[in-house]
Structure 1
Amino acid sequence: MEIQWSLVLFTAISGAGAWLFAFIGLNEFLGRARNDKGLMVGCVLAAVLLAVGGVASVTHLSHVDHVLWVLQHPAPGIFVEALLIGIDAVLAVVFFLLVKREVSAGARKAVAVLAIAMGPIFTCSCGSSYMMASQLAWNTITLPLGYLGTAIPAGAAIWMLVGYYFKESDEAHKVAGVELAVAGAASLVLGAAYGFASGAAFNDQTVLFWIAVVAVGSVVPGVCGILVARSPKLAFSAGVTAMIGGFVGSVSYRVLMWTASVALMALFGEAI
């Protein structure tokens, strides 16, 4: 099946933004992030990534009439995804204002909890909208779970770089390293689950799966996280490496979904 690059970039970029905001919320809730400027810049970056991803999604519709139709009909998956992007972006703006105005810690933690929840909700929703019985490689719960998992490392790596830029403590860098290591492990497990369930791990997509999704997109960020957890001074180099690897893995997973797709009618000799 032809790769829909607009949708690939949409879910990869906006997914990174959603998880960046989720890690901001997590560190706020745990009290690990000490630099408010870092929190605010992180919110801005998260909102920008969400917006850029949303723009990429709109380009797939190709015409303003299609956009208006989607907005008027709440059933399609793209409407739900747009709604979730809007909610997450609004939450990022709200959290930015709470930090800037030094509002009570209780209010900040309440929004932080919502930020944490929106990471998996949005990224899993992006994948679940593709599940359909007519596409054998998509008709599995591991598809949205892979969307969720492979979006995490890029968000975690960007958060690590924000902490480095704003000179967070070594302890905060170590925590960010642990988070990145867990992100890599989650990407590995959930991405691999789809590879095995869809058969992509052993067919024509083997190289894309094992090299791009597993090795570059999951193992590399995980190792970078472990290195920073042990040596905080590596936060910048490891963060950049993990961010690049995370985006490569995220995009590759979404490309894999399209290239691994086998329509049900193809079993009867029909070209889809």
Structure 2
Amino acid sequence: MEIAWSLVLFTALTGCGGWLFAGVAIDEFAKKTSKANFVAAIVALVLLIVGGLCSVTHLEHPENMMAALNHPTSGIFIEAVLVGIAAAFVIVYLVAYNRNEMLRRICAVVGAVVGVALSFMAGHSYLMDAVYTWNTMLLPLAYLGTAAASGFAVYALVAAIRHNETTPADMKIAFILLAVGGVAAALTSLLYLTGVMDVADMVLVAVGAVAVGGVVPLACGVAGLKAANSAAVLAAVAVAGALIGAVCLRCAMWMAYVPLENFFGITL
């Protein structure tokens, strides 16, 4: 099946934005890389907006978008609502940043929860009985895992740039999150890919999603715990790897499209 690039970018970018804001929320309580939080929130907002616009381009015409939003149970409607809610909480967070710590923390936590949920629901929307290779919970989990890696990688990069004179202890939490995201991306991608397709026939996609998208961020996260002076370089490599992996996983989903009717030798 032809890859829907607008949807690939939509899910990759909004998922990254949601998990990036999750990094902000975590540090609101850890207070280790707080210099990065305002800038990271702005980047998260941009990713949510740009990702949302990518989704709109998939529908091509405004009337198609309005028709989709008239069905509250549809995946498009749910995703649009989640993007809007997450973006709204990020905006309020930015407004409250230097004004109200309690409101800022509440917005960070709620916005992060919605952003994380968005990364899962973006994959959940594809679950359907008619498509054998999509109809598995491993798919939204893979979307979730790859988004975690890319979001935490961007957070680590922003933190490394903002804390240009940081100590290893300050950056520790950012690189721990990055390592956790790498593990999540590698495991969930591997489980999905091996569960629905012959990896031997799609080596490049499998390597891109699992090795580049998961193992690279994991390795950078572990290395960053011991080499704070190379934090920015390691984080930048992790961002590139995680985003490539996220895109590869989503491309694999489209390339592995197998309608259920194929198993019965009929065309519906």
Query: TM-score under structure 1 normalisation?
Result: 0.93
Would you say the 8 A contact 2:59–2:65 is kept in 1? yes
Summarize deviations over 1:205-238 as a string: whole Å, max 9, x none.
Answer: 23311x1001100000100000111111111111
1:160 aligns with 2:152: no
Summarize deviations over 1:131-188 as a string: whole Å, max 9, x none.
Answer: 0111111111100000000111111111111112212632221211111011100111
Would you say the 8 A contact 2:32–2:171 is kept in 1? no
1:267 aligns with 2:258: no
Cross-structure match for 1:19: 19
Residue in structure 1 matching 2:119, options 118, 123, 129: 123
Summarize deviations over 1:35-56 as a string: whole Å, max 9, x none.
Answer: 2xx3211111101000000000
Cross-structure match for 2:219: 223
Would you say the 8 A contact 1:33–1:39 is kept in 2? yes
Displacement after TM superposition at 1:200 (Å): 4.3
State how far apart, in whole Å, the 1-side matches of 2:57 and 2:227 are.
43
Would you say the 8 A contact 1:149–1:191 is kept in 2? yes
Displacement after TM superposition at 1:97 (Å): 1.4
3-state SS of 2:57 partner: helix
State how far apart, in whole Å, the 1-side matches of 2:53 and 2:161 are.
28
The one-letter code matched in structure 2 to 1:263 is P
Cross-structure match for 2:193: 195
Written as runs of structure 1 = structure 2, the 5 A alignment for 1:167-178 is 167=163, 169-170=166-167, 171-178=169-176
Displacement after TM superposition at 1:113 (Å): 2.0
1:28 aligns with 2:28: yes
Cross-structure match for 1:206: 203
Cross-structure match for 2:93: 95
Displacement after TM superposition at 1:271 (Å): 6.1
Would you say the 8 A contact 1:221–1:242 is kept in 2? yes
Overall identity of the aligned pairs, in %: 38
Summarize deviations over 1:31-74 as a string: whole Å, max 9, x none.
Answer: 22332xx3211111101000000000000101111011122221
Residue in structure 2 matching 1:233, options 213, 222, 229: 229
The one-letter code matched in structure 2 to 1:213 is A
State how far apart, in whole Å, the 2-side matches of 1:115 and 1:73 are.
24
Segments of 5+ residues of structure 1 without an aligned counterpart are none
3-state SS of 2:123 partner: helix
Would you say the 8 A contact 1:149–1:186 is kept in 2? yes
Displacement after TM superposition at 1:129 (Å): 0.5
State how far apart, in whole Å, the 2-side matches of 1:8 and 1:174 are.
31
Displacement after TM superposition at 1:270 (Å): 4.5
3-state SS of 2:32 partner: coil
Would you say the 8 A contact 1:85–1:122 is kept in 2? yes
State how far apart, in whole Å, the 1-side matches of 2:160 and 2:259 are.
46
The one-letter code matched in structure 1 to 2:20 is L
Displacement after TM superposition at 1:190 (Å): 1.2
